[in-house]
A = this chain, B = another copy of it.
Amino acid sequence: MTFHRPEPIPTPYLLFLGDVASKADTKTAAGLLEWRAAWCSAQCRLPGCVVDLGLPDMTPAQAARAGLRTLVIGVAPDGGRIPEHWLPSLHEALRAGLNVAAGLHDRLHHVPTLVEAARGHGARLFDVRGVPDGLKLPVGRGVPRSGRRLLTVGTDCAIGKKFTALHLERAMRARGMATDFRATGQTGILISGAGIAIDAVPADFVAGAVEWMSPAAAPEHWDVIEGQGSLFHPAYAGVSLGLLHGAQPDAIVVCTDTRRSRIDGFESFRAPTIEDCIALNLQLGAMTNAAIRCVGISVNTAGMSADERRAALQGVRERFDVPVFDPAVEGCDAVVDLLR
């Protein structure tokens, strides 16, 4: 069983934010900056962009002159399309000799003018989403496999599932546990250098793709699998369910943000309670692993004052008898203790 490991993308990066209107849509850039800060040298923003990562602002041409190597599209708008009005910036980058990398549903390689410009200027295009050429994914089997698995699940998208999984991997390794982070989205793939963006896999193969990327392992080995979407999301619940069934997790950690009462960008949909989120994941996950249990609740408290943070965590702790933590603040030791 070989694992997909894409070609390394030349660093340092210019993080392209476009004219993004919501911080939740910049999770690729934010994730790279947090976990691979050394690779991220500047940001490129268009008029109307509401997000500032605190990096120097550069145009693609300036970035090329400063020695940066690749413009990485750090934004994931709904549906993963490349807006037409971003194309001039991407062309400017290619003309200046920067490579362009993206993890959108729309492939850079499917935009003929970009392919031509890259060829003309000796630059390269990297698409990290989608099934790698030539890989024949299996369909799911649902058969138990050795090794242990933890899946991060969420009350919504863009709420901390990847972030929590990366922290868990780090904490588990620090405690000497054999652990692998399994990326299921473009940012996780950019950070870890491996994985499959399962939301771009043909729907029939989602569970199979997860089985494939988290193969049988030593009995004590843990895969920490990055969750996607939410079972309560009107657009993406099917992705989350295929992932849950393919992951066959022994353990889930629920990721939430107590400030978010509505599904982000789908305001007519109420965000589920943590109780409902745990219950539905256990109910549906039991189909492929009857031993599934919830081992923690990861609360995203970014931007809260100390008082708000304390109140948010306390409010959740009173309702549950599993560890309640913000991995960025408390770390993940309480969960790791439970897993050992």
Contact = CB atoms under 8 A, between A and B. Distances in A.
Interface string A55-68: 00000000000000
Contact of A238 (B142, B143, B242): B242
B268 A142 contact: yes
B235 A140 contact: yes
Interface residues of A, number: 42
Contacts of A240: 238
Most buried by B among A198, A200, A204, A241: A204
Nearest to A234: B142
A207 B238 contact: yes
A239 interface: yes
A205 interface: yes
A204 B239 contact: yes
Most buried by B among A79, A201, A266: A79
Nearest to A202: B200
Contacts of A287: 232, 234, 237, 269
B80 A204 contact: yes
A239 B200 CA distance: 13
Contacts of A239: 203-204, 206, 238, 242
Contacts of A89: none
A241 B241 CA distance: 8
Interface string A236-272: 1111111101000000000000000000001011000
A208 interface: yes
A288 interface: yes
Contacts of A203: 198-203, 206, 238-239, 242
A80 B202 CA distance: 11
B200 A204 contact: yes
Nearest to A136: B81
Contact of A234 (B105, B140, B266): B140
A23 interface: no
Nearest to A288: B234
Interface in A184-223: 198-208
B268 A234 contact: no
Nearest to A81: B136
A241 B206 CA distance: 13
A235 B202 contact: no
Interface of A: 78-81, 105, 130, 136, 138-143, 198-208, 232, 234-243, 245, 266, 268-269, 284, 287-288
Which 5 A-B pairs rank lowest in CB-CB distance, beginning with the nearest?
Answer: A238-B242, A142-B234, A140-B235, A199-B204, A238-B241
Given A79-B208, A140-B236, 14 more contacts: A79-B138, A105-B202, A141-B234, A198-B203, A199-B202, A199-B204, A206-B238, A207-B234, A232-B287, A235-B245, A238-B240, A238-B243, A238-B245, A241-B241
25 contacts: A79-B138, A79-B205, A80-B204, A130-B202, A141-B235, A142-B266, A199-B203, A199-B204, A201-B203, A202-B202, A202-B203, A203-B203, A203-B206, A203-B239, A206-B238, A207-B235, A207-B236, A208-B235, A232-B287, A234-B245, A237-B245, A238-B238, A238-B239, A238-B240, A238-B242
